[in-house]
Amino acid sequence: MKFSICFEAQMVDTSRESEQRTFYGAVDQALYAEEMGFDGVWAVEHHALTQYAHMSAPETFLAFIAGQTKRIRIGHGVICLPPAMNHPVKVAERVATLDILSRGRVNFGVGKGGTQQEAGTFGYDLAELQPMIDESMYLIPKIMVEEEIEHDGKYIKIPRRPIHPKPYQQPHPPMYMACTRDESLVTAASRGLGGMVLGFNTPEDTARQNRLYRDAFASRDPAKQVGYFPNEWLCVGCPTIISDDREKARRIGLRGQRFFAQAIHHWYGGGGKPEIHVEEASATEHENAFRQAEAMTVAYLNEAKIPVTPAATDMYNVDHAYGTPQDAIAYLERLEEAGADEVLMLMQMGTVPHEAIMETIRHMGETVIPYFREKEAKARAA
């Protein structure tokens, strides 16, 4: 199992100074993650989602990280594919350039973005995006590989042109797809793409989705393949805060998760802005707040007043890698047994201090990752 750190550039204070601190902190965290043995660093793409995600130009952030690292994989994911956001020619050019400059360390995922707030910023109706996303995702690897490209589609038209540069990896970097629902996970598998399940799922949810993904991948039609090779790989979100003090880690992690949940509900479900005056609450108080919020959501669902998907409700799960290094190991072993190939460790949740993230990365490098690497080495030797 691989270990990656994932960035949203989430923050409570949205002043310019705070934005700058958040990005500088993310750089420090990514560089330290390479030093501590992490396998990858991923950055999302979102637009116009105040507090929830200020990572609107992940290609710039990742290029900056790639230039200061040597080994860690550079995860560009997911790239939003509505053509006015990211034209497929520009996606192919940017990813190939990043792949060259990182000497073949790029992974990239594709998707459409999650909110009308984002789609509307570029003049789109979110409900009408999927066909153009599909057209673009099939086209991008062709642009990366073919000497010249010509395309006359419903949404994208490209006269015959040579597109440069070509990627470092042959024939192109591994491709992934964002999966917020079971249906999209099956679609990713049926197209031979890695699945990226970002959320707050339980290990039991992961095991169920792993079965869906593997079954769909095994029975896929090769004619539906996106790109020039299949990439069977399941990435799952894993909120993580580690400390020698279990209560401290759970308090910081659950507070961050509470902010994350409220921020996503604000933009995805029309809820109020995140609470910012509960910093002294205990882990137990945060857990109780989650239970109350979940009960309210279920009530609304029963009354059919607001649409809430499983991806939105799973954030009320409080069973994550929050605690001591041994707590984290125990939780990660459950994800490993559930079938995860890679964990996308979410630490930068709004209220989480930079120092807590750096401490978490240190514990991962000193204790958690070595534990799994030693276990894998013993398994190979046996």
Over the stretch 82-99, which tens digit does the pLDDT of each residue have? 999 999 999 999 999 999
Cis peptide before 171 (omega within 30 of 0): yes
Average per-residue pLDDT for the chain: 92
pLDDT of residue 292: 64
Q: Which stretches of the chain drop beneath a pLDDT of 50?
A: 296-313
DSSP string, 222-282: GGG--SSS----EEEEEEEEE-SSHHHHHHHHHHHHHHHHHHHHHHHH--PPPP-S-TT--
pLDDT of residue 294: 57
Residue reference for tokens 């992690």: 253
For residues 367 and 375, the answer to whether their CB atoms sit within 8 Å is: no
Q: How far is CA 382 from CA 182, 218, 329, 372, 377, in A?
A: 36, 28, 22, 15, 9
Instruction: Tell me the per-residue pLDDT of 140-181, one tens digit each, with 9 for 90 and over.
Output: 999 999 999 999 999 999 999 999 999 999 999 999 999 988
Which residues in 160-172 are b (16+ Cβ under 10 Å) and which e? eeebeebbbbeeb
pLDDT of residue 288: 72
Which segments within 21-133 are labelled E, that is strand? Answer: 40-43, 73-80, 106-111
pLDDT of residue 87: 98
pLDDT of residue 276: 73
Any bridge partners for residue 345, and if so which?
A: 5, 238
Q: What proportions of the chain, in percent to the nearest 5, are helix, strand and coil?
A: 50, 15, 35
Q: How far apart are alpha carbons 22 and 24 in whole angstroms?
A: 6
pLDDT of residue 300: 36
pLDDT of residue 3: 98
Q: How far apart are alpha carbons 176 and 172 in whole angstroms?
A: 12
Single out the residue of 40, 138, 41 nearest to residue 81, CA to CA.
138
